[in-house]
Structure 1
Amino acid sequence: MTKKADTPDSDFSNLIHHIQESRGIDFRGYKRTSLERRIRRRMEEVGCDDFTSYHAFLEAHPQEFINLLNTVLINVTSFFRDKDAWEVLRTDVVPRILERKGSTGHIRIWSVGCASGEEPYSLAMLFAEALGTPEFCRRVKIYATDLDEEALNTARHATYAARDVDSVPEPLLERYFERTGNHYVFQRELRKCVIFGRHNVVSDAPISRIDLLICRNLLIYLEADTQNVVLPRLHYALVNDGFLFLGKAETQLARSRMFEPIDLKSRIFTKVPREWRRSQGGGLALAADAHGGRANQQNRLLESIVDNSAAAYLAVNIDGQLIFANAPARRLFDVEENDIGRPFQDLTISYRPAELRSRIEEVRTSGRTVRIEHQPFSRPGIEPTHLTIEVSLLYGRDGKPFATLMSFVNTSRLFLLQQEVDAAQESLETTIEELQSSNEELETTNEELQSTNEELETTNEELQSTNEELETMNEELRSTNEELEVANEEMRRQGEEASEYKQYSESILRSIDAGIIVLDDNMIVRSWNRWSENVWGLRTEEVVGESFLDLDIGLPVLHLRRALHDTLTNRVAAEPLELEAMDRRGRRIDCRIRLSPLLHHKDTYGAVLIIEDVTERTRADAFARYLGRIIGRSLNEVYVLDPATFHFQLVNRGGEAKLGHSLDALRQIALHELMPDIDAVTFGELVAPLLSGEKDEIVFETRIESGHQPARPVEMCMQYFAQEQPPVLVAIAHDTAKRQSIGSFDGRREAASD
């Protein structure tokens, strides 16, 4: 990128005018070469070739103003910069100011071009060391102004890096700074006494009644004409015998008539009081001196300054005549040209906006300045305002007052701000009280948190103990789990066995040649085996869940009601019952029914019916009884013996008669005991083949005793019925004596025939 060598002056002037119109910053008094060099540096950074394009860039990018101001307004500063000069200030100037102000007078200090605040805070430490912090806060006000708003914000925060405070003596650093991390924060009490604000010393009205004014390294950037405007403003701002502290490179005051050097090397000056006069244009100017040409130039400058000031000024001589009114005063109070020279008391301004005649008299009598804050003022054609009025004396070279000066500053905005500040102060006080209350609550909360922390520590210990117990319990659970696995395996095995047993039981029930019916305690059928299905013709699924007494089968179930009720109630088995029934084919059958309670831990859960088909048995029993009757009446001797002891168990009537003993007596006797020819051993050997199954029948002859009768011969026929329960040994005795008699008779008959 190449720069244009010949930039028209009009383009540069238009740019400077645009900056003034947009931001209120007047660079017209700055040295052209320095100002142009810094602006071009910024133009190169944003890529603009000429002032016109940079002008357009500023209009399109308003944020560029901040970067431009940071480039033009070089904020090079530090704490106690040029230590030797500050030492002179501490040892010579500060004591003189304190001596002049006495023990109660207020001290006003102005730091022009304060940048990021190091300079005003250095002043604060200097005076705090001399007065002490409480007295400093009560008596000292430091006004710190600059054009750079960003630098002012930095100054208001009063927070600096470690490298920024290297030049601060260690005792002052410890006393007036608080370290926060890697930064240092200036003491809050002193910071409240430093008032920061944006101010252009070239165009804005100066702050008045200043005891010490510091304007270091600012004038060197201004053109000579601009310096001639600024210096009278600085002169006006200072009180008589006030002090001005400039930078080392600033030599403008070496031959000035407005200031006298206190220490030229350190650039410390004191104000030379000058008389005020009214210029031809109605402005405020210094009286002429021997240097006529120079004085006229300064007078013109002062006249221009006063007329262009935002404040209105009136002056009344010792005779009470109005001798001066600057342009703002003429506009504000409608003062005409012919009012100059008239008695002040005849003018409306003497009593409106405030009673000024008595104030002028008070100032002349006491010699002290009178100040009226925020006086309301209104008149037709202008908006109502609030004015701050100062009435003070003007002194000549001889030190005598020659006029009274009245200044009127529009403080409407300040008044509103003050109201807002008061409201904010009240709100702040309320907030402080709330914060104090919150702080107390926080302290209480902190104590509660400490208590909670202790409880948590106790809980933690308990949890650790619980954890140990849980670990022990875990071991126990692991062991229990293993036992449960073993038990589960055992239960699984038992379940399999139970399943097998159930299948086995069902197989048994199916295989039993009898009907087995299980009822619950309400006589509802719960089990129905295969025999019951085959005999009664009803399947299991048809009867399970049905009332037994309601079943329509060939069995007269109603005849069992009472027996079932007794069994369920008394928990004892009923006597077997025999009933006639009809099977599913209509065949008549005889049933033997046994009822037993179904018990579980002595509680009745139902009943079990066992039904047997005893039709054949009944017939056999009847036939057996029939045979028994025949055998019992038979004259042949029939003995039923115990196969183990051979004792008589049953004997028919013929046997009892022949043997001559009762049945009870015979049951105590073995058969071989009635055989005199056979002993027990021989008898056992005789019947052994029969008992072993080798023979079905044995027949032998012997003698048998009959009561008190001689033994009689008999033929004994014996059979063993092993299949009977219990097994029995049956013996049939035939009396052979009669057979022999018959044989003898037959022999005799045959012999007779022969």
Structure 2
Amino acid sequence: MRTLPDYARLVQEAPEEAGALLSDMLISVTQFFRDPEAFETLALEVIAPLFDDVSEEGIRAWVAGCATGEEAYSIAMLFAEEATRRKVRVPIQIFATDLDDDALAVARRGYYPGTIEVDVSDERLQRFFVQEGEGYRIRKEIRDMVLFAAHSVLRDPPFLRLDLISCRNLLIYVERPLQEKLCSLFYYGLRQQRYLFLGSAETADAEQQLFTPMHREARLYQSRAQAPRTLPIIADGASAGRQELRASDAAPGPAGRDASPVVLHEAALEQAAPPSVLVDDAHRILHLSPGAGRFILHSGGVFSGRLSSVVLPELRLDLGHAIERATVRKLPTLTIGVSARVDGMLRRIALNVSPVPSEEGPATHALVLFLDGGPEQDEGDAGDADEAGVGFGRMRSELRSAKEALAVSRAEHELAMQELRAANEELQSINEEYRSTAEELETSKEELQSMNEELHTVNAELKKKLQSISTAHDDLRNLTAATEIGTLFLDRQLGIRMFTPPIADLFNVTDSDIGRPLTDFTNRLRNRAIDADVRRVLDDLTPLEAEIESVDGRWLMMRVRPYRTVEDRIDGAVVTFIDIGSLRNAQSRELESEAKYRLLFDAIDQGFCVIEMMMDDAGKAVDYRFLAVNRAFAEQTGIADAVGRTMREIAPTHEDQWFENYARVAETQVPEQLEGPAAALGRYFEVHAFPFGEPGERQVGVLFQEITERRRAETERQMLTLELSHRVKNTLAVVQALASQTSRNMTSVEQFRTTFIGRLHALARAHDLLLATQWNSADIKKLVETALDVYATAGADAISIKGQQVDLTPKQGLGLSLILHELSTNAAKYGALSTPEGRLSVRWEVMKTDLMHEIVFVWEERGGPVVSPPASRGFGTRLIERASRFEMGGEAELKFEPEGCTMNLCFSVG
């Protein structure tokens, strides 16, 4: 595989081939971006927080090495989904860059083959793609978010003020130093505490001062807030390689015999010349000589690369002025020796700062030389008069140096003031010329603007009139077409002005007949003189309406009205014909339906009435009035002439619960099935109440049936059921006694007898519980308590029963009773209930759904004898499985663990 060093070499030798090489590398990289887990993590931990803190510019992202655009569009889809979820509109701009113009052209088209169905979900396909032919095209709303451009991360400056940079699987193709510089470049383009998204084989851990990891598996990093923000200089790979090669070739060997004079000269300068530092116009250190480190002393706090901030404190002020003078004014500066403490010793240091010329433009660099003037003795060490004299002389020298520096500063200040004064005068002169030119242009502009406003006003008036006329014409044409009403416009002499298309079905007229009298044409109306009707309306100005029939059997509503102008002047008549055949048919069907309804209303055997609720000031139902009743109403209730009367008038002692029930139906608009006595009428009714009419009318329809005799029959049936139950249990007791006496002396039969009797008892208990609910349901908790009641003597806490009340079907109740009997007898013989230390836990959980209740029933034994799985499935195990599947409608799982037996039963209850 070719790498970026190959690319660096080709940049110099064959630029076109170098661009194709890097593009091929980036296209191969994008084949690995389909990482759903990483992109889901990106959506949760990066894109969602970005919407919480959106700047005024919106959200800005950069996808470096986008190739044919799949990765850029995927990130745009994630932004669109988050914006839709939050129901907000945020400006989103994604810069997608690459070197290959052909790949960028494919990305801009946004058209991909049908094979993307494997990688893209159906939901996103429908939302973000439009199928065209055998492929899919990205929708315009996503393509508008992404701006594709040709760009090189190695040569071109980065995008700025970014919230997210995605550079997946590009850093693995460059060497480590270049990776670090690219990370610095990405940090420079990001806002503080924004995000970097790398590929699965890449990392930014080497630049921990710039980025902190957020999610290592997804390769998500966040930029630090306090890191220095400088734009790194990324040298061309080929030139850097050649520089390293020349440096290695030119380095002197160990013997130094074969070294060239140039190399010897450079080595001698390095040893004899003073320490030096190369800085730029921002005071940033670009290069240090080996001995310059003696004069560097960084203070505490955030790291800084500015030489004027990290040099010895005594030198910082003079050095800052000297660098400014060298880089801005291109003047060298030599400072008089300053006392500074170097390596713990007080020394005299002088600074020589010179501008570095550049062929490409003005000087933007400076060379700083540190001149060491030798040690200087502290004043505290002076022991005699000679040493004091030396100190006095040094002070005089320093004062002289300060005066010279002050004089130089004054001269520079005066020179700068003169230059500024001259520049200011030139600017004032130019400003005066510009002002006079601007005034002339302003005068011309005002004249043109005045003329333009006049033309604009006239044009706007004409355009408005034309638009109103066009709108009125369109409205009239669409109105006549939409209503499908035949309309005939006539003048005062009954001449035809205009007509709509349906008129051609009634009168033998065409567009060429405009202006001819209506009397010249025949019509298809039966026994109707239209001209006489129009003249009568024009005479008395009274509109006319009449139902007429056409010769083909259609019924029409004819309306004749005067034609009024804008000035309210009568200038003819307007005749309209509306087809009312469907209306007449509907009225006929309504009459027939009403007759059938009334016949059915009076023919049913059940009583039916419509009532209107009567409320007091507090909103409580106090009475209701009968609005309509059928024939069976009087037979069921014994009340005659109920329409128009209230229930309190008919039966003052009528139960209040009926008023409350009917009021609830009228309020909630939900039908209810009711049943109860009407003591005032001496009868028992089954009632179906439902809302009737509009909700605000508080009307209720009541369909009822007297069930006094049925209630009496149900009471008698219940007594017979109890008697039958008693007889069945007596019969079972007789069968039990006979079975016991017959097989008393037989070992195998004894075992059968015990098992058989226990199961009969279980069925009997379940039968009792079902009988209590009239064989409608069985309470699961009562079934469990009844089955384990006989083992309650084992201890107060030996058996634990937990679960909410659930009603099972009769079939499920019998099946669960058999299962509980098998498990409890096994626990009493061999399991947790066979020892005092044993514990039995029976619990169930109910998970409600829309239609069903899912129940998980758990039988768990602990603390009993050690349990070993049976060698074969016995009859009890098969009985549990069969009862679970066929009676319970679920599945049971038995586990024979050393700690005890466990059964998990899952089933549903409707």
* Structure-1-length-normalised TM-score: 0.31
Instruction: Decide which structure has the larger Cα Rg and report it.
Output: 1
* Structure-2-length-normalised TM-score: 0.26
